[in-house]
Amino acid sequence: MKSPYIFLERPWFVVVALAGLIGGGFLISTWIRTSDGFLLCPLVSAKGRVSENYDTKPLQLKAILHYATSTIVPQQSISEISITLDVLKSVGRPCNFLVFGLGHDSLMWASFNSGGTTIFLEEDPKWVQNVLKDAPNLHAHTVQYRTQLQQADDLLSSYLSEPNCLPSNAYLRGNRQCKLALENLPEEVYDKEWDLIMIDAPRGYFPEAPGRMAAIFSAAVMSRNRKGSGGTHVFLHDVDRKVEKVFAEEFLCKKFLVNGSGRLWHFEIPSAYNTSRSNAARFC
């Protein structure tokens, strides 16, 4: 028969048992600390986890939630949207993405470029407030345009007589002489080189609206002046309208048109910096 005093007869057993108890206690306490008390209080920890994730959850999750629960969808069709998405995917890294216009598509563009920089430029300050109320993570600025749609023909026929509009001289920051130049944008817009530029604003469907003339001209200047490698992808929506079409042909150039679908054109514009094109008399 076994002695009930086995611990006294075999002291090594006591040492092993104690070591096991201490080690086990240490493991359990570590688990409890790192798992946010999951073992001790599942309800509290589940709540804690939800609120922690709520602040830090990726933009994509917000976008899924938004579009899954909204009856309002972006105006661009799936084939138009896919052109930009395919470019973002093909670049294979977070991009600098400048978007003219703030709307129902904004959360989608920002989440497609999650981890990159996506900045929205919007003409209407009230609309900025309205959109940011529901999507405060979006990075948006209000822009003042100096043009009106009804001036489009005059702007096109006269810009070559303003030296600061010429492709060889054109710049944006502070360029008040050239009415097509967006001269008063936030510094961060001038300081970045944009990999993608989406022009789906400002409004251009009534005579007093700003029209897209300055956005198209400024996108062309940004693309030409790019110093980094590769070209700039410029997407222009509403090319079924005369002004968008004519200004695109003048400044973004048919020869740089690489894709299109529906009412969207996609240009890939090479930099003119340090090339023979930098002294060209015309943009195209």
Ligand X SMILES: C[S@@+](CC[C@H](N)C(=O)[O-])C[C@H]1O[C@@H](n2cnc3c(N)ncnc32)[C@H](O)[C@@H]1O
Q: Which residues bind ligand X (CB under 6 A)?
A: 74-76, 101-105, 122-124, 127, 200-203
Q: How far is the CB of 148 from ligand X (least distance, A)?
A: 15
Q: How far is the CB of 168 from ligand X (least distance, A)?
A: 32
Question: Closer to ligand X at the Cβ: 97 or 283?
Answer: 97
d(CA 163, CA 174): 14
Question: Closer to ligand X at the Cβ: 128 or 180?
Answer: 128
Beta bridge partners of 96: 117
d(CA 108, CA 97): 12
Q: How far is the CB of 211 from ligand X (least distance, A)?
A: 11
Residue-by-residue DSSP string for 77-119: -HHHHHHHHHHHHHH-S--EEEEE--STTHHHHHHHTTTSEEE
Q: How far is the CB of 167 from ligand X (least distance, A)?
A: 27
Q: Which residue has its beta carbon closest to ligand X?
A: 103
Question: Closer to ligand X at the Cβ: 124 or 193?
Answer: 124
Beta bridge partners of 235: 198, 266
How many helices (H) and strands (E) the chain has is answered by 11, 7
Question: Closer to ligand X at the Cβ: 202 or 211?
Answer: 202
d(CA 172, CA 146): 13
Q: How far is the CB of 121 from ligand X (least distance, A)?
A: 9
Q: How far is the CB of 101 from ligand X (least distance, A)?
A: 3
Contact 97, 138 (CB under 8 A): no
Question: Closer to ligand X at the Cβ: 106 or 223?
Answer: 106
Question: Closer to ligand X at the Cβ: 76 or 118?
Answer: 76
Q: Omega before 94 cis (within 30°)?
A: no
Q: What is the DSSP letter of 205?
A: S
d(CA 11, CA 74): 76
Q: Residue 147 CB: number of other CB atoms within 10 A? A: 22
Q: How far is the CB of 80 from ligand X (least distance, A)?
A: 9
Question: Closer to ligand X at the Cβ: 105 or 183?
Answer: 105
Question: Closer to ligand X at the Cβ: 29 or 130?
Answer: 130
Q: How far is the CB of 131 from ligand X (least distance, A)?
A: 8
Question: Exposed (0-12), middle (13-18) or buried (19+): which is 67, by Cβ within 10 Å?
Answer: middle
In one-letter notation, the amino acid at residue 15 is: V
